[in-house]
Amino acid sequence: MGFLKKVFGAKEIVIDPADLTLPDLIATDKLGLTLKKAQVGQPVEIDIVGESFRVANISAVAKAAEGKQFEIYLVPEPNNQYDKRAVAVYAANVHVGYIGKPANTQWFNWVNEAISRGELLWGMAKVVSAEDTANTGIFGSIYMPKVGREVEELIPQKMTDAALGKAIEKAINLSNTCNEPETITQLKSLCKKAVGVAALFVSHAKWVEENPEGQDTQKWEDVMSVCDYIFDDFSDAAYASDEMEVDAVGRIQELAELVNGMKP
């Protein structure tokens, strides 16, 4: 396969189901280079293309997987004659496709950055057959580091009435002024603003959870839920290949509707 050692010597395409799970450490063809599986993080969907040229390989994977999910990993192909930034997708030791364009360019960078850290980018996939056709493809995602803070990192803290009033005003103003992003850069910027507003409510929502007496706990649970999604959106936007992948505007409007009318 050119990147990882060929540890399976069979001439026929026969895959042991156990080999669809990667070991924690993977030896490569490059002398002295051993990669570790990257940590399980945020699953980022990939568009796998070229499966029609690898029907036998995919059939072997499908047979070994028996309808279950299996692990895939990414291999850069800088010497590919058609695309110097090609990124191949493997399962066990067989090639099942490539990451589609134009996303392959960014993935080529991410894969090589991971290799420089001594890590192999991997994820989970499943073989799916189109109903009433012979078409079979692989759908999967790759684990990437979570971007930004986690909601769990924020500590419970009560806001003063004045601070809560200002936070509500900021949420409503952002909702009234934000527009659908036209570029990925605009999407990232909008999600960053949304996190800045949501963070104001998270700590107070956590305080309400610990001090429920006299509080509208259901309302604050709803606020917390939306804020959690907003934090996830920020990380999703970091890996987005299209500005419409994340409904940042809808989430901001949802938060504004929830907090509008709250009494400080």
Residue 246 lies in a domain: yes
Same domain, yes or no: 124 and 182: no
Same domain, yes or no: 137 and 197: no
Residue 3 lies in a domain: no
Residue 30 lies in a domain: yes
Domain boundary among 144, 171, 192: 144
User: Regarding beta strands 136-144 and 94-99, do their DSSP bridges make them parallel or antiparallel, or are they unpaired?
Assistant: unpaired
Structure tokens at 264: 């400080």
Same domain, yes or no: 139 and 21: yes
What is the side-by-side strand order in the sheet with 122-129?
42-46, 136-144, 122-129, 70-77, 86-91, 94-99, 48-49
Residue 4 lies in a domain: no
Separation between Cα atoms, residue 14 and residue 23, nearest integer Å:
19
Neighbouring C-beta atoms of residue 256, cutoff 10 Å: 20
User: Domain range spanning residue 104?
Assistant: 17-144
Residue 11 lies in a domain: no
Mean of pLDDT over the chain = 90
Same domain, yes or no: 140 and 156: no
Neighbouring C-beta atoms of residue 82, cutoff 10 Å: 7
How many domains are contained in the chain? 2
Residue 40 lies in a domain: yes
Separation between Cα atoms, residue 3 and residue 176, nearest integer Å:
51
Same domain, yes or no: 138 and 159: no
Same domain, yes or no: 121 and 166: no
Cα distances (angstroms) measured from residue 90 to each of 19, 87, 101, 162, 198:
12, 10, 17, 56, 39
Separation between Cα atoms, residue 39 and residue 45, nearest integer Å:
16
pLDDT digits (tens, 9 = 90+) for 27-45: 887 767 899 999 999 999 9
Separation between Cα atoms, residue 15 and residue 45, nearest integer Å:
25
pLDDT digits (tens, 9 = 90+) for 81-128: 999 999 999 999 899 999 999 999 999 999 999 999 999 999 999 998
Mean pLDDT value across residues 56-63: 92
Same domain, yes or no: 99 and 180: no
Q: For position 36, which CATH number holds?
A: 3.30.70.2330
Same domain, yes or no: 134 and 214: no
pLDDT digits (tens, 9 = 90+) for 204-243: 999 999 999 999 999 999 999 999 999 999 999 999 888 9
Residue 139 lies in a domain: yes
Same domain, yes or no: 215 and 170: yes
> Terminal CA-to-CA distance of the chain, rounded, Å?
63
Domain boundary among 144, 178, 209: 144
Same domain, yes or no: 134 and 194: no
Same domain, yes or no: 216 and 237: yes
pLDDT digits (tens, 9 = 90+) for 144-182: 998 888 888 899 999 999 999 999 999 999 999 999 999
Same domain, yes or no: 89 and 163: no
Residue 1 lies in a domain: no
Domain boundary among 89, 109, 144: 144
At residue 75, φ and ψ (nearest 5 deg) are -130, 120
Predicted structure pTM score:
0.74
